[in-house]
Amino acid sequence: MIYAVSFLALQKSIIYGPIASRRLGPSLGINISSTVANVCSFDCVYCQYGPTTCHVASSEGLEDMLPSVDDVVEALAAALATIPAPAYITFSGNGEPTLHPRFPAMVEAVRSVRDERCPTAKLAVLSNASTAGDPAVRAALALLDAPIMKLDAGSAKLFAAINVPAGVRFDDVLEGLGAMDDFAVQSCFIAGAPGNADDEAVADYVRAVGAAKPSSVQIYTTDRPVARAGVQMVPRERLAAIARRVCEEAGVAADIY
């Protein structure tokens, strides 16, 4: 399937959902990015929110666009007072959450609200791993129950073509992931130009997974409108074959979604 160029609207508030996540179950989203722009260090060709409108490696100078810790605490507490406890509370939304200049403080504050209001809920993040080389970010990620980190490519060339990073090096991402403990890798496979599901790309990817040493790998393909025309879905049987290679060659459990 080839999608036309159309995409989802940005989240318009700090809290959204709960949504029925394929990986996490009922998940309450926390958007600590802007509500008027997707602030991200990547401009992924398959992004459901369309081309990145604020393509930056750092959020320095962007604080006025982003919610404060107090804003997030107030919004989360209000939401949890009106809904059943979700399975997960997930940092996600309109961009890369770890770019927020106060991300470590955000994690601490959200943990406190969770502990007080719904201690059964787990905390997750969907991150593109661009800041995994920052020790302060890694320390904050270690406080979450489910740090889910992006890795779509096994080479600098495909990383540049698919993720289109802003001042982020592939080797630095891989090194940052290698310094983490107990995290999941989430990987989107696409066909077309660029594509990362052919044999050569998969061989490089499996080696990269082996170097990063995640606890598990989540493999999927896009099933929503995406940022670039020409991006194509990968058949489920191909995803299953990639998952088998990850298990057999990298020694890491892999599932498809």
Report the CATH number at residue 176: 3.20.20.70
Q: Is residue 6 part of a domain?
A: no
Whether 58 is in a domain gets the answer yes
| Confidence (pLDDT) at 60 | 86
For position 4, what pLDDT does the model report? 43
Looking at residue 86, the DSSP 8-state letter turns out to be: P
Cα–Cα distance for residue pair 203/211, rounded to 1 Å: 13
User: pTM here?
Assistant: 0.94
Q: Compute CA distances 153 → 4, 101, 158, whole Å.
A: 24, 27, 6
Residue 3 within a domain: no
Contact 56, 117 (CB under 8 A): no
Domain that holds residue 209: 15-256
Task: Provide the number of structural domains found in the chain.
Answer: 1
For residue 10, tell me if it sits in a domain.
no
Q: What is the pLDDT of residue 223?
A: 81
Q: Alpha helix (H) ranges present in 179-257?
A: 199-212, 236-245
Q: Please report whether residue 195 resides in a domain.
A: yes
User: What residues contact 166, with CB distance under 8 A and at least 6 apart?
Assistant: 41, 42, 43, 55, 56, 57
- For position 3, what pLDDT does the model report? 39
How far is it, in rounded angstroms, from Cα 36 to Cα 25? 27
1 belongs to a structural domain: no
Low-confidence ranges of the chain (pLDDT < 70): 1-6, 224-227
227 domain-assigned:
yes
CB 40 within 8 A of CB 50: no
Q: Is 5 inside any structural domain?
A: no
Per-residue pLDDT tens for 190-246?
998 899 999 999 999 999 999 999 999 999 998 866 667 788 999 999 999 999 999
- What pLDDT is attached to residue 227? 63
